[in-house]
């Protein structure tokens, strides 16, 4: 994998760049749609191609449990299993394991947990996480880290940082000792933990640098902490992370979050929010957020989003989309999901143009003042 910085904003930490994997060229900043179970709900690979998606995210924990790595391997790896010829990033499974707080036990060597599907027992080590991702064949794989809750004690925060360092080293040594399963390269991103404690974050950053060969991630944010401390941590790390590597902010977020994080030097994002909120009738448009099930859209014959880059959003009315939601038609979910993801991609494209023109800061001030989320 290779990363190149293409342009830098003179007035902020924002920049544009290019990631090259064996499967695609990814322009940054980039938003990665989330296909937890190997599919962005209601969308096909062709839909993603039409949206010019160059990389998607899938979930190691869920794919490990169902259908299982053996079945995916029998299909020739995750790319062939999904019929997806662009890049894939997989998380380590750590966040999901730790979120099952009443079903796991954390040790110095890994995590014992019970499946949320059938209660079966499993044990994830750093090596196990790497082997699962190796068998999946994703282009970018995430190190196995300890993601502590936002309200954890100082003692637990320090333990999380210690285990993250130990586990990242073990994961790195394991993946470096193995050959590629499917003939294409895989790059591991280490993950910076430390909560909203700036000293712990900087300490963890220093610990992760030896394992950051072409990418580094910020984890453990957007897990319940307040917005301003989160942004302070992003800015601190944005000023200190390697400038020659892509920076990935995991699990964030809303359109305004993306703008604020890009101002602070972040290049890569993922979040279930645009697809999940679409299923609940929340639509992101160029004129703001709308809740399509609201009765005021019953007679609204205007396009869902007249400025969208996709025809579904410009050809169908808000009234029609509301009708589809009210009668539980699957087509409504598809229109809503496409509209939301298209909005995210339109937003990123506009941001790139503003960065290239050195007008991003002024543009972002107006956007953040006007966009209602």
Identify whether 91 is a catalytic site residue: yes
Angstrom distance (rounded) from CA 328 to CA 341: 21
| CA 253 to each of CA 116, 218, 221, 243, 362: distance values in angstroms, whole numbers, following the listed order | 25, 13, 10, 23, 22
Helix, strand, or coil here: 108? coil
Paired sense of beta strands 282-285 and 288-291, if any: antiparallel
Angstrom distance (rounded) from CA 137 to CA 24: 14
Selecting among 9, 270, 305, 346, the annotated active-site residue is 270
Query: What is the per-residue burial (b if ≥16 Cβ within 10 Å, else e) of 157-168?
Result: bbbbbbbbbebb
Is the distance from CB of 57 to CB of 32 less than 8 angstroms?
A: yes
Identify whether 346 is a catalytic site residue: no
Cα–Cα nearest to 36, from 55, 63, 54, 66: 63
Within 8 A by CB and 6+ apart from 119, the residues are none
Selecting among 47, 91, 257, 267, the annotated active-site residue is 91
Angstrom distance (rounded) from CA 78 to CA 101: 29
C-alpha radius of gyration, the chain, whole number: 20
Query: What is the per-residue burial (b if ≥16 Cβ within 10 Å, else e) of 31-46?
Result: bbbbbbebebbbbebe
Angstrom distance (rounded) from CA 167 to CA 124: 11
Is the distance from CB of 212 to CB of 144 less than 8 angstroms?
A: no
Angstrom distance (rounded) from CA 251 to CA 178: 29
Give the sheet arrangement for strand 25-28, strand by strand: 2-8, 15-20, 25-28
Is the distance from CB of 114 to CB of 127 less than 8 angstroms?
A: no
Is the distance from CB of 308 to CB of 314 less than 8 angstroms?
A: yes
Question: Would you name the residues annotated as active-site residues?
Answer: 91, 270
């Amino acid at each position: 994998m290779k990363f190149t910085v293409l342009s830098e904003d003179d007035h902020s930490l924002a920049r544009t760049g290019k990631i090259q994997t064996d499967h695609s060229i990814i322009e940054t900043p980039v938003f990665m749609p989330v296909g937890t179970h190997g599919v962005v709900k209601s969308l096909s690979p062709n839909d993603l191609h039409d949206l010019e998606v160059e990389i998607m995210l899938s979930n190691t924990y869920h794919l490990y449990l169902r259908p299982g790595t053996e079945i995916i391997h029998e299909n020739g790896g995750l790319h062939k299993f999904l019929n997806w010829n662009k890049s894939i990033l997989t998380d380590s499974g750590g966040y999901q394991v730790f979120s099952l707080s009443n079903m796991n036990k954390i040790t110095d060597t890994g995590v014992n947990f019970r499946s949320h599907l059938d209660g079966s027992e499993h044990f994830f080590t750093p090596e196990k996480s790497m082997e699962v991702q190796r068998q999946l064949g994703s282009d970018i794989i995430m190190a196995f880290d300890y993601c502590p809750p936002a309200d954890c004690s100082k003692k637990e925060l320090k333990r999380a940082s210690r285990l993250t360092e130990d586990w990242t080293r073990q994961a790195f040594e394991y993946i470096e000792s193995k050959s590629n399963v499917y003939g294409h390269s895989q790059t591991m991103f280490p993950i910076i933990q430390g909560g909203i404690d700036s000293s712990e974050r900087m300490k963890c950053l220093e610990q992760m640098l030896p394992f950051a060969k072409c990418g580094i991630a910020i984890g453990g944010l957007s897990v319940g902490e307040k917005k301003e401390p989160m942004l302070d941590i992003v800015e601190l790390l944005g000023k200190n992370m390697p400038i020659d590597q892509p920076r990935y902010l995991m699990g964030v977020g809303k359109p305004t979050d993306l703008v604020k994080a890009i101002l602070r030097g972040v290049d890569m994002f993922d979040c279930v929010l645009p697809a999940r909120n679409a299923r609940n009738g929340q639509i992101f448009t160029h004129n703001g957020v709308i809740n399509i099930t609201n009765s005021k859209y019953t007679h609204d014959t205007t396009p869902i989003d007249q400025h969208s880059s996709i025809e579904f959003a410009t050809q169908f009315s808000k009234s029609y989309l509301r009708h589809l939601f009210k009668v539980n038609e699957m087509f409504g979910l598809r229109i809503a999901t496409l509209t939301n993801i298209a909005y995210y991609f339109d937003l990123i494209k506009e941001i790139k143009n503003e960065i290239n023109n050195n007008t991003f800061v002024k543009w972002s001030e107006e956007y953040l003042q006007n966009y209602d989320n």
